[in-house]
């Protein structure tokens, strides 16, 4: 298993906003244990490459990584729970992002659709009675004219 390495020297004067930019946590080849920035010897952390992958979806904050490394050392079970939580969070964020994408017409698939406003629905109910095709529908396709 590959572990993320860290430079104790850069750890002292890093910026918190970007773990990689500050040289704090670094992937190195197995035969190279020097910090690419200050040439100090790197030390192994307990974080695996896969875990780092998942955490990088959440944050790039160095202090966040610090606390996750500490948590894995002190309480591996709690650490696994947290990781599962983060995974869920990321998945939820991804599904929210995809469901908030543009609605499509169910018949022709066009995204050129308009919301039928409440006023317009009420007006057409008044003009054409309950038979109006707009009753109970809220969207109208500008492409094929389908309402739903
Ligand atoms: Zn360094
Ligand atoms: Zn359509």
What is the 3-class SS of 110-146, one letter each residue? CCCEEECCHHHHHHHHHHHHHHCCCCCCCEEECCCCC
Distance 12 CA to ligand 1 centre (A): 9
Q: Is the pTM of the predicted complex or chain greater than 0.75? A: no
At residue 92, what are phi and psi to the nearest 5 degrees? -65, -45
Instruction: Say if residues 24 and 6 touch (Cβ distance below 8 Å).
Output: yes
Task: Please say if the pLDDT value at position 11 is more than 50.
Answer: yes
Distance 130 CA to ligand 2 centre (A): 24
Distance 24 CA to ligand 2 centre (A): 53
Distance 41 CA to ligand 1 centre (A): 8
Q: What is the β-pairing status of strands 139-141 and 3-7? A: unpaired
Q: Which ligand is nearest to the CA of 141?
A: 2
Task: Please say if the pLDDT value at position 109 is more than 50.
Answer: yes
Mean pLDDT of 140-146: 90
At residue 4, the pLDDT reads 80
Could you give the CA distance from residue 118 to residue 35 in angstroms, rounded to a whole number?
Answer: 64
Q: Which ligand is nearest to the CA of 103?
A: 2
At residue 27, the pLDDT reads 54
Distance 139 CA to ligand 2 centre (A): 10
Mean pLDDT of 133-143: 75
Instruction: Give the pLDDT confidence of 47-100 residue by residue, as tens digits.
Output: 888 888 888 888 878 788 888 999 999 999 999 999 999 999 888 887 777 666
Could you give the CA distance from residue 80 to residue 103 in angstroms, rounded to a whole number?
Answer: 37
Distance 27 CA to ligand 2 centre (A): 51
At residue 99, the pLDDT reads 64
């Amino acid at each position: 298993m590959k572990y993320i390495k860290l430079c104790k020297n850069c750890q002292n004067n890093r910026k918190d906003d970007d773990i990689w930019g500050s040289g704090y946590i670094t992937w190195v080849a197995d035969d190279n244990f020097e910090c690419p920035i200050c040439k100090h010897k790197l030390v192994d952390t307990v974080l695996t490459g896969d875990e780092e992958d998942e955490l990088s979806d959440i944050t790039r904050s160095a202090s966040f990584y610090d606390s996750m490394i500490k948590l894995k050392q002190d309480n591996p079970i709690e650490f696994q729970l947290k990781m599962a939580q983060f995974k869920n969070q990321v998945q939820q964020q991804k599904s929210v992002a995809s469901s908030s994408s543009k609605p499509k017409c169910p018949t022709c698939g066009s995204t050129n659709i308009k919301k039928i406003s409440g006023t317009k629905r009420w007006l057409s109910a008044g003009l054409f009675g309950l038979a109006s095709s707009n009753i109970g529908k809220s969207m109208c396709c500008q492409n094929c004219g389908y309402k739903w």
